[in-house]
A and B are shown apart, each in its own frame.
Chain A
């Protein structure tokens, strides 16, 4: 790795760290983070493959309220770095990514505790009526989040590819790396489960099974599933009597009756 590559890599690490807390442009998602890391190191193809595989694993990982998910940011950066510098396979990269995501989660929780300090700093700036002070407090907290990924990236970049690290990783028994690769094939179900649970819509599960069976016995791609899903959603909303209380009671049509119907409908939910 040239020194320019190292600098660009660490800077990109900072961008990924900030992106993962902002959760807006989604640069830290494996698809993007692995691809760019691969490109910086001159092996974009590897980055794309690793990114695609990892993306499927992290599909349902999300931060809701105060709950922090495993960290895709650190996992993407470091596993790509290790795979390319240490000449490991994509499968081994996936096996490395998961423990990294766990480590990243710990770091995320730590950082989000540290940033309480900036919130209190902002209290003092608000008291003084300083707009600039609030800008600084906020942006420096964001910088800390950047360092959260940039520093580990720097450390691993300096160590990766050295014979010690390669030997260490090679010392992992074959049965464990194979097991982790196999798990990489279906670990995504945890993410699916998280998404389904978050929807909190048991009465809509027929749509889930419809999607499952249709995919099992067809060769439709995801675009097709997206279009069918959208059509189903629109049809569901158009035909649902819940949204047409008067139509559903055409004939009887009194207001009190339609209110009764609403109540009944809620009970059914």
Chain B
């Protein structure tokens, strides 16, 4: 019954396609993906909200619309930006289904669920682990001198990347549809993840040295110079001669070790506060 009716539609030449305007709508709505994030279905409702323009375009009969709306109100969660290509692919599948191809609603859900995990696996390290810290540190380094360019640079760079990625990934996802999955399954994703990890770790190493500051003003020796001045040598002087940034480096590894032991990051932060207060009180730590 269902198939016959859609076949008639196709025979009459009303093959349903997304218009450019629909794509723009999908793009704009994809930015709001996490608006209703909740602990039950996470981005579930957000996905549905973002996918509405596609459902509206593809399905005209009420019962088809209801079925699609319910299908897309289920659990979903990935790195926000990585949802864009999945929206494109899912739209391509819904389009085929609406045009009478033999695509099961369950298959669409499976593709969604199947892609969100691997793409989050790539997306989290790239967006949150590499790009945002790098742009953030770049902006902060300017802002610390009171330069307004710091915040502006961060905001502009980040948004060029995220908006540009969202638009092109959505478009390519829609145009190539499920064909793109075989591309993703190849080396491309691993390469991207590994490349981002190299860049991210390299910059992170530089940041540990440059932007984590510890001072141990404990005096080791006081020498009276012939000129009458007193030269003091503190623990920090010795450490700096050995390797600048050594203490932050060790602290970083201590934190990694504790995080691996399932210690909550908040406990770490509070713990470091207590250490600092006690350290200052005793005189081991200074500004």
Measured CB to CB, the residues of A under 8 A from B are 18, 21-27, 29, 31-32, 35, 44-45, 48-49, 51-53, 55-56, 58-60, 62, 64-66, 69-70, 98, 102, 105, 112-116, 118-119, 122-123, 125-129, 131, 134-135, 137-139, 141-142, 145, 175-176, 178-183, 185-199, 201, 204-205, 207-217, 220-223, 225-226, 228-230, 232-234, 236-237, 240, 243
Contacts and interface: CB of A to CB of B under 8 A. Distances in A.
Given A55-B139, A199-B129, A138 B32 contact: yes
Nearest to A137: B45
Nearest to B47: A138
Given A204-B194, A225-B203, A233-B196, A189 B77 contact: no
A12 B146 CA distance: 22
Interface string B127-144: 011001110111111111
Contacts of A228: 202
Interface stretch (B14-22, B90-98, B107-115, B273-281): B273-281
Interface size class of B (residues with CB under 8 A): 35 or more
A236 B198 contact: yes
Contacts of B280: 175, 178-179, 182
A185 B141 contact: no
Given A69-B265, A222-B206, A195 B248 contact: no
A134 B209 contact: no
B269 A98 contact: yes
A145 B255 CA distance: 31
A119 B139 contact: no
A33 to B, nearest CB: 9
B119 interface: no
Contacts, number: 373
Main secondary structure of the interface of A (DSSP, over half): helix
B119 to A, nearest CB: 13
Question: Which one of B55, B124, B265, B287 has the greatest number of beta carbons of chain A within 10 Å?
Answer: B265
Interface in B52-81: 52, 55-56, 62-63, 65-66, 69-70, 73, 77, 80-81
Contact of A211 (B42, B48, B204, B265): B204
Interface string B12-51: 0000000000000000000111111111111011101100
A93 to B, nearest CB: 14
Given A35-B151, A209-B205, A189 B248 contact: yes
Given A141-B35, A212-B205, A229-B202, A48 B273 contact: no
B199 A59 contact: no
B249 interface: yes
Nearest to B62: A129
Contacts of B155: 25-27, 31-32
Contacts of A180: 273, 276-277
A109 to B, nearest CB: 8
A181 B142 CA distance: 20
Contact of B52 (A118, A135, A223, A240): A135
A204 B201 contact: yes
A208 B154 CA distance: 23
Interface in B143-202: 143-144, 146-148, 150-151, 154-155, 158-159, 162, 187, 191, 194-202
A193 B31 CA distance: 29
A150 to B, nearest CB: 15
A196 B144 CA distance: 25
A196 B154 contact: no
Nearest to A53: B144
Nearest to A128: B66
Nearest to B143: A52
